[in-house]
Amino acid sequence: MARARSVFLCQNCGATHTRWAGKCDSCGEWNTLVEEGTHGGIASGPAGMKSSRKGRPVTLTTLSGDIDEAPRIVSGIGELDRATGGGFVRGSALLIGGDPGIGKSTLLTQAAAALARHGHRVVYVSGEEAVAQIRLRAQRLNASEAPVELAAETNVEDILATISEGKRPDLVILDSIQTLWTDMADSAPGTVTQVRASAQAMIRYAKSTGAAVVLVGHVTKEGQIAGPRVVEHMVDGVLYFEGEGGHHYRILRTVKNRFGPTDEIGVFEMSDRGLREVANPSELFLGERSAKSPGAAVFAGMEGTRPVLAEIQALVAPSPLGTPRRAVLGWDSQRLSMVLAVLEAHCGVRFAQHDVYLNVAGGYRISEPAADLAVAAALVSSLTGLALPADCVYFGEISLSGAIRPVAHAQQRLKEAEKLGFAQAVMPAATDEQNGDKNRKTFQPATLTDLVVRIAG
């Protein structure tokens, strides 16, 4: 008989290794390999139990007409429902990840209370806090009178036994996946094997009963506890709750969604009474704008289906260093290098002797290439010391040749800008969806040089 070999699992990415190493080959993290028994430690059932059951495939065409839409449980918290694509889906599992202390438990307590008030059976299982602590938080959130069932348990089998009593739950929240452990696995709680096996058991529960299951996962940089990444592929949806240190707002970002779009965000503000929805994020990110200072340009961006305006600030200053500094907050540093290179190569704007700092106001993070034009405008404005018009928005992608490329949703961006009092726009030349607006002053440069000339005169 073959000797039982132990395996080493990376606690960060879940990769299996046959021997210990300081660094995981798969994800490149250090000190994340932990020995976890044989076969990854998941019991495969009593010997001889492996029976082969026959399944019957169905044809796709016979399914049509039966299923219209995924049945959803709407929380009534608009920003949360937006991020989930219209509410929690029955019979599905959702992972909500984020740094410790970002507000995951707060958000889910509020959602649980809202649903319980509307007659849904909601069970909140916490492996991190005692029932008294959860109740204390609920009191602070004005949610203590909602009939949410609380349980402080960490063993999956116990949890399943608890929630199986009485009426079938509509929503089960497990806070957090890292505290769960199942009898089916023999490793310590918090390890990849336990996290995976526990998640699997809860997902199976969701599929078989039709309850919506929400798993909370802490993101850890040290890899001490298995990150939510190891369950990402098992669940139906993944949301990340993010926030910038020192800012009160939080963004719920959809990373994966089998039942809806993945580019939606929900925006919240943390107050002393819990999370408040922010229905108009533009007002938040534009914040306290100091009009008429050089180096500031307002970008008309999109987050999923929603337009979001944000201010981009650039500081270009003479550099005493041989190799000038380039520092970016809230945008991609590679794209900044690209915009700088295009400005130098095609527009004759020199940054070689200058330090360049770029910041997106309010701690917001932009991922759209459409911000190129706003970044270029802010850079040129700071270099020349000439302020941009305070009532103007910018959007458009810049190609390596210096041409301005069209971007999607021009009309929506313009509409949002107008709503917030911006009268001018610098944008790519007319696209199909854009049909000339007489009232608004728009400037549509064909190349980046046209924009530089307009700003610098």
Which of 37, 85, 98, 445 lies at the binding interface for ligand TYD (CB under 6 A)? 98
Contact between 356 and ligand TYD by CB under 6 A: the answer reads no
Contact between 137 and ligand TYD by CB under 6 A: the answer reads yes
Q: Choose one: 103-111, 177-185, 234-242, 308-316; the region binding Mg ion (CB under 5 A).
A: 103-111
Question: 225 or 296, CB closer to Mg ion?
Answer: 225
- The CA R_g of the chain, rounded to the nearest whole Å, is 26
* Nearest-approach distance from CB 14 to Mg ion, in angstroms: 23
> What one-character DSSP code corresponds to residue 429?
S
Binding string, residues 104-143; x marks residues near Mg ion by CB under 5 A? -x--------------------------------------
**How far is 385 from 295, CA to CA, in rounded Å?**
7
- Cβ-Cβ contacts under 8 Å for 396 (sequence gap 6 or more): 370, 372, 373, 404, 405, 406, 407, 426, 427, 428
105 carries a ligand binding annotation: yes
Question: 175 or 303, CB closer to ligand TYD?
Answer: 175
* Nearest-approach distance from CB 27 to ligand TYD, in angstroms: 24
Minimal CA–CA distance to 191: which of 178, 201, 207, 176? 178
The Cβ of residue 111 has, within 10 Å, a number of other Cβ atoms equal to 27
* Nearest-approach distance from CB 296 to ligand TYD, in angstroms: 30
Contact between 250 and ligand TYD by CB under 6 A: the answer reads no
419 carries a ligand binding annotation: no
Which of 39, 90, 135, 140 lies at the binding interface for ligand TYD (CB under 6 A)? 140
The Cβ of residue 18 has, within 10 Å, a number of other Cβ atoms equal to 9
- Note if the bond before 176 is cis, omega within 30 degrees: yes
Provide the β-strand partners of residue 89.
72
The Cβ of residue 377 has, within 10 Å, a number of other Cβ atoms equal to 27
In one-letter notation, the amino acid at residue 313 is Q
100 carries a ligand binding annotation: yes
Contact between 100 and ligand TYD by CB under 6 A: the answer reads yes
Question: 85 or 127, CB closer to ligand TYD?
Answer: 127
Of the chain, the end-to-end C-alpha distance in Å amounts to 83
Minimal CA–CA distance to 439: which of 421, 424, 419? 424
Q: Which of residues 268-297 bind ligand TYD (CB under 6 A)?
A: 270, 272-274
Give binding residues for ATP as ranges.
98-105
Q: Rule CB under 6 A: which residues touch ligand TYD?
A: 98, 100-106, 137, 140-141, 270, 272-274
